[in-house]
Amino acid sequence: MDRSLMDKLQILADSAKYDVSCSTSGVERKNAGRMGNAACAGICHSWSADGRCISLLKILFTNKCVYDCEYCVNRRSADVERASFEPSELADLTMEFYRRNYIEGLFLSSAVEHSPDYTAERILQCLSLLRYEYGFAGYIHAKIIPGVSQELIHAIGMVADRLSVNIELPTGESLQRLAPQKKVNAIFSPMKQITTTLIEQKALKGPGTMFKGKNINNPLHDLQPMGKELIQTEGADADMGDGSLYQISSPKEGHSLIKEPRYKYKERFAPAGQTTQMIIGAGTETDRQIVKTSESLYRSFKMKRVYFSAYVPVRNSPLLPSLFTAPPLVREHRLYQADWLLRFYGFSADEMFTDAEPNLDLELDPKITWALRNIHYFPIEVNKASMEELLRIPGVGTTSALRIIRQRKVCAVKYEDLKKMGVVLKRARFFLTCSGKYYGGKDLIPEYIKGKILKADGIKSRLLPINDEIQISMFSPESFHLPATPQDSVSLQRSLETNGGLLI
């Protein structure tokens, strides 16, 4: 590899490390005589300490940007090294890395060089080289830049497995304040085009089990941003003029019919759907606003995932948190847990928060927080509760709820059976009854239950290794050293506990 290409690789890979929406699930393209394989078993997910997915080549096409967003390390006014790939350079690099088994796919994002269309055309050239010239069948995740023309979005979608359009910030007010050159409508337009094209191809799957049992590949399920449902009047055209393939190619719109080039391998449009991500902690939004925006994106555009990225201070600005502010990683974790409740447990954003409590409790997971804020729903009798009610009990997951319902068809579920069914009793026992008996100790008092749960988590943390960065060896010779001080004695005792007492 020549020096200039190596420099580009270092600069653009480092610039991409703040992008978190790097996942690969949902594609089943098989290796049929080509290079690579995007089948689920062929992709490994691995995350490094700085959040980088190390099984993909995660890189920017360019970090030369015409925008000047306050929070971005690649903003126009930032004093950083700049570089851009040529399409053939990045395509060759991807193939060389794949042949050496360094990567299993490509995660390609980009700053905006000259204009959105100029950058998107060069990205399309690179991806077309990979797919059609080199026969690369591995996973490709491509970012769509807001403002790109509809034809380019469609063409990139035909060569990429997953598309994503970053919403950047949770509210339009924050976007206007921190990234005034980006507009909300320019972000929503490509999202809607992707969703509509997937509906036309009857390939929209949606997030988790949120729309289970519903036909979301019906145009009437395509919603407007902010969750307002479109009502189709009698005789109205189902097409909403939103940049879909039908609309682009409609003669009445003055476009000629799009004829896709005939290639040896037939590709589908973005078979892994679309995702987005937003930065958390750069603005002043509450958790309620963030989760409501996330829910709106799921209901409007049927996103596969909404990713949250804790803001990492990169500059001094009166509009941003101080450089000494730690990234809100715990908050990011709690938001991901709340997002899971939206996608798999039937929760809505409105019921997780109240006007008086617009934020999540950072000490507890959101499901316990919701239960303690709505303690009047509990305890729930496991032998009579519906599936929806069982899923509201902290410590009861989808699998264990199904096992409870299946067991009830044979005989009543006993408390001793719950642990075998996968129920986490250290949480669940405070919120359920089994055959009329309550096992949570005292009455249902939120403060008492919270203390008990936190105490149980404290026991768990004491059982973890003393230093998380060190893999403790079962036969480590250091473990045999006698303690010299009382503090060392405590440390040795904890070490023996973590080794399962094998040294005693």
**Which letter does DSSP use for residue 138 in this model?**
S
Map residue 216 onto helix, strand or coil.
coil
Q: Tell how strand 56-60 and strand 105-109 pair up.
A: parallel
Q: Is the pLDDT score of 225 beyond 60? A: no
Q: Higher pLDDT residue, 47 or 370?
A: 370
Q: What are the pLDDT digits (tens) for 258-305? A: 444 555 555 688 888 899 999 998 888 999 999 999 999 999 898 988
Q: Quote the CA–CA distance of 174 and 176 in Å, as a whole number.
A: 5
**Amino acid identity, residue 354?**
T
Tokens of 439: 């096992």
Q: Quote the CA–CA distance of 53 and 432 in Å, as a whole number.
A: 40
Q: Quote the CA–CA distance of 17 and 32 in Å, as a whole number.
A: 33
Q: Is the pLDDT score of 71 beyond 80? A: yes
Q: Tell how strand 437-438 and strand 432-434 pair up.
A: antiparallel
Q: Is the pLDDT score of 196 beyond 70? A: yes
Please compute the mean of the pLDDT values over residues 348-358 and round it to a whole number.
Answer: 91
Q: What is the pLDDT of residue 216?
A: 81
pLDDT band at 195 (very low <50, low <70, confident <90, very high): very high
Sheet holding 380-381, edge to edge: 380-381, 432-434, 437-438
| CATH 3.20.20.70 segments of the chain | 5-27+40-222+267-341
Q: Which residues contact 328 (CB under 8 A, 6 or more apart)?
A: 280, 281, 310, 311
The candidate with the shortest Cα–Cα distance to 163, out of 272, 24, 38, is 272
Say if CB 54 and CB 47 are below 8 A apart: yes
Say if CB 189 and CB 195 are below 8 A apart: no
Q: Residue 316, Cα to own-chain centre: how many angstroms?
A: 28
Q: What is the pLDDT of residue 245?
A: 46
Q: Quote the CA–CA distance of 96 and 232 in Å, as a whole number.
A: 51
3-state secondary structure 64-97: CCCCCCCCCCCCCCCCCCCCECCHHHHHHHHHHH
Domain 5-27+40-222+267-341: which CATH number of 3.90.950.10, 3.40.470.10, 3.20.20.70, 3.90.980.10: 3.20.20.70
Q: What is the pLDDT of residue 42?
A: 45
**Which letter does DSSP use for residue 315 in this model?**
S
Using only the alpha carbons of the chain, give its radius of gyration. 26
Please compute the mean of the pLDDT values over residues 118-138 and round it to a whole number.
Answer: 91
Q: What are the pLDDT digits (tens) for 479-500? A: 444 444 555 444 444 444 444 3
Q: Tell how strand 380-381 and strand 305-310 pair up.
A: unpaired
Q: Quote the CA–CA distance of 272 and 41 in Å, as a whole number.
A: 15
Q: Quote the CA–CA distance of 6 and 492 in Å, as a whole number.
A: 47
CA torsion 211→294→146→39, rounded to 10°? -50
pTM: 0.78
Q: Is the pLDDT score of 248 beyond 50? A: no
Say if CB 39 and CB 104 are below 8 A apart: no
Q: What is the pLDDT of residue 298?
A: 93
Q: What is the pLDDT of residue 3?
A: 61
Say if CB 200 and CB 245 are below 8 A apart: yes
